[in-house]
Structure 1
């Protein structure tokens, strides 16, 4: 009859190994030593080259901030979506918002902007875009009673909203639609002449960055931004 060995008899692992313990402590000591040498080297570099050390510190800080931000986004839950775009929930600007908007049709984008207006307390929200809209795609009443008129431009990043488009909107938003606050909202950007014309006429310019911040809850709405 075969006599079972220690492992077969008790089901435990092999006996304690002094060699493994020594290797473990050696690895820990090496890591501590390496960290100490790194700190010493950084301190010496800071004394000799303060500008370079400052730049390195800023880079490390930015990297840490990015990691913390990604962690917060992974932890966020319960986000209600409209057409693939979060309209409530975590108040962290999410860069992937823009690809979601850019994948929409013009009609879907207008509806998404209208949903953002409803989310932020507007009443009488209407999507009026289409033939004969005279430049108004979304009209609403702001929480403070002002009439909000918006034109929505779902453009690709390289297609900027120009001066002629803003001039056409400027010719109708106040005189025809009676806007108290008028804004062009786009998934792209504005040309410099277009932005200058808008500033002269009191028209708000909401580009990709402003739109993403508004959708995520970290930036103002178009009617609040004009204040």
Structure 2
């Protein structure tokens, strides 16, 4: 019955049927192009991210040989690699306890203190207290302390209690190797070489 009616009134409805078919074809083509473009952009982003990691990767002995300024620039570049914005190095005389400032990908502000010390050195709690002062001075949401050495037990405890992201030598190796900055927050206050930490380090690295 429906087919018979369609045949009878074909001269009237054919423009509408043709238009509907054409519109469907245009919509399908547009969806296919959008999906293809999205896939290409995602793959391009992954390739660019991998290139950034490979280009910025340094061995820890190479980091140890850097000057303080070079180390601060490395930390700033790792932040940019992880999607942080407005990143700038401010270290030097009268830096008010900050070496790097910027914003995390989620918009929160951060202040970073960088200490390139010999691996045998230890970060004392007083240096973390200075960073707390810098967080207040700059009105930052997050304070990060990055070092090429380790934290003393009291300083590590102090960092966790006051919400400071304490990146010691092992964490720096993970970050430099491709782990994201914020993935290190999941293992903050842990590690510095013990077996349990190395398992958690691998989990952070895979994020």
TM normalised by structure 2 equals: 0.61
Which residue in 1 is equivalent to 2:70? 108
Q: Distance in 2 between matches of 1:171 and 1:125?
A: 20
Query: Which residue of structure 2 aligns with residue 88 of structure 1?
Result: 53
Per-residue deviation at 1:158?
0.7
Unaligned segments of structure 1, at least 5 residues:
1-78, 81-86
- Is 1:172 aligned to residue 134 of structure 2? yes
Kindly provide the CA deviation profile for residues 97-128 of structure 1, in whole angstroms up to 9, marking residues without a partner as x: 11011100000000111111111111111000
Q: Which structure has the larger Rg?
A: 1
For residues 52-67 of structure 1, the aligned pairs below 5 Å read none
Aligned to 2:88: 126
Q: Which runs of 5+ in 2 are unaligned?
A: 1-49, 187-207
For residues 125 and 143 of structure 2, the distance between their equivalents in structure 1, rounded to whole angstroms, comes to 15
The answer as to whether partners of 1:181 and 1:226 remain within 8 angstroms in 2 is no
1:198 and 2:159 equivalent? Answer: yes
Any idea what SS the aligned residue of 1:172 has? helix
Match of 2:35 in 1: none
Q: State the 1:193 CA deviation.
A: 0.9
| C-alpha distance in 2 between matches for 1:172 and 1:183 | 11
SS in 1 for 2:151: coil
How far did 1:224 drift?
Answer: 4.3
Q: Distance in 2 between matches of 1:171 and 1:132?
A: 13
Kept in 2, the 8 Å contact 1:150–1:185? The answer is yes
Give the one of 97, 107, 117 matched to 2:59: 97
Alpha-carbon separation, structure 2, partners of 1:177 and 1:168: 12
Mapped partners of 1:169, 1:210: distance in 2? 19
User: How many corresponding residue pairs?
Assistant: 136
Task: Give a deviation string over 1:141-172, Cα, whole Å, max 9, x none.
Answer: 11110112110000111111111111111122
The alignment's C-alpha RMSD in Å is 2.0
Q: Distance in 1 between matches of 2:93 and 2:183?
A: 29
Contact 2:171 2:184 in 1 (8 A): no
Matches within 5 A, 1:148-163: 148-163=110-125
Match of 1:185 in 2: 146
Runs of 4+ in 1 over 4 A off after TM superposition: none
Query: Take 1:169 and 1:104, find their aligned partners in 2: how far apart are those partners?
Result: 22
Relative to the length of structure 1, the TM-score reads 0.56
Q: Indicate if the aligned counterparts of 2:98 and 2:111 stay in contact, CA closer than 8 A.
A: yes
TM superposition shift of 1:220: 3.1
Matched residue of 2:134: which SS? coil
d(CA) in 1 for partners of 2:109, 2:183: 12
Cα distance, 1:225 vs. partner?
A: 3.1
